[in-house]
Amino acid sequence: MKALVLSGGSGTRLRPFSYSMPKQLIPIANKPVLQHVLENIRDLGVTEIGVIVGGGAEQIEAAVGDGSGLGVRITYIPQENPTGLAACVSLARPFLGNDDFVMYLGDNMLPDGVGEIAAQFAADRPAAQVVVHKVADPTAFGVAELDAEGRVTRLVEKPKEPRSDLALIGVYFFTPAIHEAVASIEPSARGELEITDAIQWLLTHGADVRASQYEGYWKDTGRVDDVLACNRKLLDDVKPDVVGEVDATSVITGQVVVEAGARVVRSTIEGPAIIGAGTLVEDSRVGPYTSIGKDCVLRGTHMDESIALDGATVTEVRGLHGSVIGRSATVGQAAQHRLVVGDHTSVEVAAA
């Protein structure tokens, strides 16, 4: 089996971060979402991975390289314009050949893995096997309708009156039968080749299409609030590991990671939290569910339930909560509020 990871989208819901970095590189517990995805695939025993990349290809290649550091082999497949998930399958056909494969959206987090589902697919080999999850609002998703045996009878994209609450969550298992289906469909009303249409083509032509319900934690990290929620979830499982320097006046409580080269000076760190390599935390308090990236500086700052990306500097700011600070960004205190705000940015200023 091979794998196809889709990492070419523009990430409009994660602006302004996605203006300067692929959304798949947003860190969750100090590790890019894409790395979490690749590790999940590796844990299935799959080592040949094709990665669809778009405008952020250079950054993605710099982050994960050829995959050898993760124990996999990555083939990068460039895509000029996103034209649908099924178009990605067509684009990757030379890489996929006639092998079975798992297709995985590169911004989806399934920390509990899909090992049992993969094993079920390998044993039964239906033409396609979709991974579904119960959701509160099926109208926002592609939805699978099933018969009593768990076989898919129909797929509906964003139904106005859903007959099922089982949403497709961005992990699909395919045999080579999907290639004929992709070649046979037409672009949808929005001008894209939809993978749901390709799977529906298989159903219409009598193929065996099944669904497996994922019972674990799932999050599409397409919005800032989802990134923060997923960060909280993963930090709950972090194991204490203080390798960096912590002075005698500092207090570390709970599940805290202080990576090599980090320094904690006259500060309090309350876990779960991660302090990245090379970071300085001085005269500050870092509260629970906070991930601080590499080479950051925190001085006189109180921060909790937040993420600071690599190289960020925060000085004399108290009460930061639920915040995401971008790479090499600088946040500081001033006598008056002064904002330089870019496109699609959200800023909340506390009352005096």
Tell me the sheet residues that pair with 315.
299, 332
Residue 67 structure tokens: 């995959």
Q: What pLDDT, on a 0 to 100 scale, did the predictor assign at position 337?
A: 59
| HSE (side-chain half, CA atoms, 13 Å) at 146 | 21
CA distance 161 to 186: 25
CB neighbourhood size of 237 (10 A): 10
Same-domain pairing of 144 and 96: yes
Q: What pLDDT, on a 0 to 100 scale, did the predictor assign at position 329?
A: 83
Q: Is the full-model pTM beyond 0.85? A: yes
> For the chain, what is the mean pLDDT?
88
Looking up residue 249, the CATH number of its domain turns out to be 2.160.10.10
Residue 54 structure tokens: 């778009």
Structural domain contains residue 159: yes
Same-domain pairing of 81 and 154: yes
Structural domain contains residue 203: yes
Structural domain count, the chain: 2
State the amino acid at position 217 in one-letter form.
Y
Q: What pLDDT, on a 0 to 100 scale, did the predictor assign at position 201?
A: 95
State the alpha helices, DSSP H only, in the chain: 17-20, 33-42, 57-64, 85-91, 93-96, 115-124, 177-184, 195-204, 224-235
Same-domain pairing of 132 and 159: yes
Structural domain contains residue 97: yes
Residue 252 three-state SS: strand
- Where does residue 346 rank: exposed (0-12), middle (13-18), buried (19+ CB within 10 A)? exposed
Residue for token pair 């904002």: 339
Same-domain pairing of 183 and 259: no
Structural domain contains residue 349: no
Q: Do residues 215 and 141 lie in contact, with contact meaning Cβ atoms separated by under 8 Å? A: no
Q: With the CA atoms of 268, 270, 276 and 278 taken in that order, what torsion angle do they form, in degrees rounded to the nearest 10? A: 10
| Distance between first and last Cα of the chain | 59
Give me the phi and psi of 199, to 5 degrees please. -70, -40
Q: What pLDDT, on a 0 to 100 scale, did the predictor assign at position 86?
A: 93
Same-domain pairing of 249 and 215: no
Which segments in the chain show pLDDT lower than 50? Answer: none
Looking up residue 91, the CATH number of its domain turns out to be 3.90.550.10
Element (H, E) at 257: strand 256-258
For residue 269, what are the domain limits? 238-332
Structural domain contains residue 170: yes
For the segment 5-49, what is each residue's pLDDT rounded down to a tens digit?
998 665 555 555 555 567 788 899 999 999 999 999 999 999 999
Q: What pLDDT, on a 0 to 100 scale, did the predictor assign at position 10?
A: 54
Structural domain contains residue 345: no
Give me the phi and psi of 243, to 5 degrees please. -105, -35
